[in-house]
Every structure is written in structure tokens, then in C-alpha cells.
Amino acid sequence: MPFVPVLHAELIKIRTLRSLLGALGAVVLVTGLFSALAGLDSGAGEEDFDPLFSAFFGVSFGQIAAVAFGATAVSSEFHGGGLRATLAAVPRRGHWFAAKAVAVAVPVLAVGLIAGGVSLAVGKAVLGADANGLTWAKSLRGVIGCALYLTLMALLAAGLTALLRSGVATLSILIPFLLIVSFVVGGVSGTVADFLPDKAGQVVFHQTWNGSLGPWTGLAVTALWAAGALLAGAWSVRHRDA
């Protein structure tokens, strides 16, 4: 079967699962909400105040919804013999998994752009005069970076779910990692911690940075993590029984 019809079928699956649509909506809602809360307690006036990071602070929490979306989109295939039915229609397993990855990436990328725009607008409104240092170029970088970062984290979750064959296992690993490990190492730079997938990618939300990576090289590191997870997931799909 050609790739386009397979992709179309995978996008239909996403549109018909309410939990997936809810996760996409939660990306925008959670990101905007926590960016507003961060703006209320931004620490403006302090020497290390970063208005760009304050405006996009909600992405740290919105990514949980993106991760849940990626994990659920793949884990749904492992319930009730869904994957066997899918592979009966699309025998080329790598072909199917590539379509699944694109079907995960496209809606998250679109929603990520919306979430980035909402986060920026809400953050600037709450910060008021403290957001005057945000230039057009930095704001655009933040919005685009938001979309790319959320997409990569969703793909990381999708690949890990295909490897583990469990959305619960994936979320049990990634959510504590993002909410605990990331904050523990958040103040440590110039070390191997700079190359963790979330910490590397979130450099794009900082006006200035002191670590080993810049905004786009940081996203490239996150992309490598996502690519590694997808390759591992593809290997699992190709070599393990459905």
C-alpha cells in the first residue's frame, strides 16, 4: 500500500480517539496557563531575569500533554489486537511505523505553533513592561522552538512506547524524568546534563545561555534523542510479534 493512504488512515485514527484530541487541547491549555502563572511571579528586576523563558515557562508542563499524546497514539495499537489488524492491511511494518510517526508529528507541530503563540501572548500580557526586552526575532524563535520542541518530545514518547509496547511504562519513565530530574539538574550547566533531551531543547526559550549548546544545537540534540527512540521503536515493531 502506498505511503499516503497509510498516513491518511493513521490520521483518521487520531481524529477518532477522544483521548488524543484531549491531549492536543491540553497542550495549549496547560502551556498558556502555566506561562500566565509564571508571569505573575517572574522575578522581574532580578539580575538573572529572563522574560523569554518566563513567557514560555508553561512549555515545561505542556510537554507532559505532548508526551501523553505520543505515547497514547502508539500504545492504542497494542490493545485488542489492533496492531495485528493494522499489519494485516499494511504488511510492511517499517512503512506503517513511519506513517505513525508522521501522524504523531503533524498535529503536535500545528498545536505547538498555537501553544507557542498563546504562551507568548499571555506571557507578554502578564509581564507588561517587563516584557519590553522581548524582540520580534526572539519571540519568533520562541514560538517556532515551542512547536519543534513539543513535536520532538511527542516523537520521543512514541518511539519509546513502540519499544516498550506500553504507554503506561513510557509515561512512568518520562513524566518523573521531566518533572523531577529536569528540575534537579536545571541549575547545572556545562556538564553532561546539558545534553538531556528536555534541557537541551529548552535552551531555545532562553534569551542568553551559558551551557554547551545554543538554541538550535540544543533542539538538534533533542532531535537525536527522538530519532534514537524512533529507531529503537522501529526495530521492535519489525522484529517482535504483533
pLDDT of residue 235: 95
- The three state secondary structure string of 13-41 is HHHHCHHHHHHHHHHHHHHHHHHHHHHHC
Spacing of C-alpha 217 from chain mean position: 16
**Res. 242: pLDDT tops 60:** no
Spacing of C-alpha 101 from chain mean position: 13
Scan for cell 495485528, then name that residue. Answer: 84
Query: How do residues 47-97 score in pLDDT, each as one tens digit?
Result: 677 889 999 999 999 999 999 999 999 998 887 777 788 877 887 888 899
What span, in angstroms and rounded, lies between the C-alpha atoms of 72 and 154?
10
**Res. 204: pLDDT tops 90:** yes
pLDDT of residue 45: 55
Handedness of CA 81, 83, 86, 87 (dihedral sign): negative
pTM of the model: 0.93
Percent of the chain clearing pLDDT 90 (strictly above): 60
Query: How do residues 105-156 score in pLDDT, each as one tens digit?
Result: 999 999 999 999 999 999 888 888 777 778 889 999 999 999 999 999 999 9
What span, in angstroms and rounded, lies between the C-alpha atoms of 242 and 237?
8
What span, in angstroms and rounded, lies between the C-alpha atoms of 123 and 36?
6
pLDDT of residue 144: 97
Spatial CA neighbour of 214 closest among 203, 223, 205, 225? 203
Query: How do residues 143-192 score in pLDDT, each as one tens digit?
Result: 999 999 999 999 999 999 999 999 999 999 999 988 887 767 655 655 77
Q: Are 150 and 108 in contact (CB under 8 A)?
A: yes
DSSP state of 160: H
